[in-house]
Amino acid sequence: MMKTIIKATGRYLPDRVVTNEDLTHWMDTSDEWIRQRTGIEERRWIPEEGGMGASDMGLNASKVALERAGWTPEDIDLIIFATLSPDLFFPGSGCLLQHKLGLKSTPALDIRQQCTGFLYGIEIADAYIRSGLAKRVLLVGAEVHSTGLDISNEGRDVAVIFGDGAGAVCLEAMETDEPVGVLASSLHAQGQYAEALMVELPASRLNPRIDVEGIEAGRHYPKMDGSRIFKLAVKRLPEITITALKKAGLSVDDIDLIIPHQANLRINQFYQKALDLPDEKMFNNIQRYGNTTAGTIPICLDEVLEQGILKKNATVVFSGLGAGVTWGAVIYRFPS
């Protein structure tokens, strides 16, 4: 049977470290509030003068992943680019990355799944690979949040949680009857909660799509009903993990590590508690990077692999919930 294997990963975080203390210069907040409510200590932002888009960060992460995989860009059959902060309104950052990789006609697909971009991306890649449509897929999750945040008091609930960063994963077909690779996935969306976390402008439903009045009202900044999203996350994440494990014929006892979306350390602590898992089975790095949305899971995965903390044949769960709302989980087992 054809299986989808993680061949290699890479990450890129901009050099500019923004601490909680730094944020206190722009808004009424404190290191104590941010740490207690979110677990975040610092995040990375692109240079203040800008000049770095999601595709640039995706390129840096991809170069590392390609090198480790031993692939040239020409080996890629499909690029999947997950971002909510594309370089341009259109075309997608996947096309820009394709060009920056020096490619001439490799297909590139952008997905707008926000915090679950990596999860939707891996399921799409798996479907392409198992159907024989592709053998090698480059999946990238990259976000530049810093240029789109309201760093005044008005936007402080959102501004303190987001960071910039990118992760890239090379996914490859492997012919094997062993139970390895992507074992199962379960994805969902509930558009009923679209406005609980959104950026409204520019909006095609408005004419003009964006105007001075809208900008003055801050409608081009992200708005979030934090407590609603929080409550949904702590309910859905354990639930979806069990569902995906069942699909794979596994149980919570089979989990070696959960590599969850990094939205809030407290969410992941509730999630861990609900599944009664020890600390070493839940990976978090939100303390250092904040929430990099589509970037969180591939960045975590890259750190996990770099740290060599997984045993052979380890079974991992990728999971998350975010804007849409969308949520999901993917069960993956490393080949020996």
Catalytic machinery residues:
115, 261, 291
Residues written for the chain? 336
Closest CA to 199 of 219, 213, 215, 225: 219
> Judged by CB under 6 A, which stretch of 92-100, 228-236, 250-258, 297-305 contacts ligand UT7?
228-236
Query: Which C-beta is closer to ligand UT7: that of 19 or that of 227?
Result: 227
For 291-312, give one letter per residue: b (16+ CB within 10 A) or e. Answer: bbbbbbbbbbbbbbbeeeebee
36 binds ligand UT7 (CB under 6 A): no
| CA pair distance 105, 181, nearest whole angstrom | 28
CB atoms within 10 A of CB 76: 23
As measured in angstroms, the least distance from the Cβ of 197 to ligand UT7 is: 6
Query: Which C-beta is closer to ligand UT7: that of 69 or that of 160?
Result: 160
| CA pair distance 282, 269, nearest whole angstrom | 8
Query: Which C-beta is closer to ligand UT7: that of 238 or that of 322?
Result: 322
Count how many Cα atoms sit within 13 Å of the Cα of residue 95 in the half-sphere of its side chain: 7
> Judged by CB under 6 A, which stretch of 13-21, 32-40, 52-60, 281-289 contacts ligand UT7?
32-40
As measured in angstroms, the least distance from the Cβ of 113 to ligand UT7 is: 12
Cβ-proximal residues to 36 (8 Å cutoff; 6+ apart), any chain: none
Among 4, 9, 20, 38, binds ligand UT7 (CB under 6 A): 38
The phi-psi region of residue 39 (left if phi > 0; otherwise alpha if psi is between -120 and 50; otherwise beta) is: left
Residues from 238 through 257 that contact ligand UT7 (CB under 6 A): none
| CA pair distance 285, 167, nearest whole angstrom | 13
Q: Three-class SS of residue 301?
A: helix
- Binding characters for ligand UT7, 53-92, by CB under 6 A (x = yes): ----------------------------------------
Judge whether 244 and 251 are in contact, CB under 8 Å: no
As measured in angstroms, the least distance from the Cβ of 160 to ligand UT7 is: 4
As measured in angstroms, the least distance from the Cβ of 161 to ligand UT7 is: 6
Question: Residue type at 335?
Answer: P
259 binds ligand UT7 (CB under 6 A): no
As measured in angstroms, the least distance from the Cβ of 9 to ligand UT7 is: 21
Count how many Cα atoms sit within 13 Å of the Cα of residue 90 in the half-sphere of its side chain: 5
156 binds ligand UT7 (CB under 6 A): yes
229 binds ligand UT7 (CB under 6 A): yes
The bridge status of strand 136-143 relative to strand 78-82 is: parallel
Among 124, 233, 316, 317, binds ligand UT7 (CB under 6 A): 233
128 binds ligand UT7 (CB under 6 A): no
User: Which residue has the closest beta carbon to ligand UT7?
Assistant: 226
- Contacts with ligand UT7 by CB under 6 A lie at 29, 33, 37-38, 115, 156-157, 160-161, 197, 226-227, 229-230, 233, 263-264, 267, 291, 322
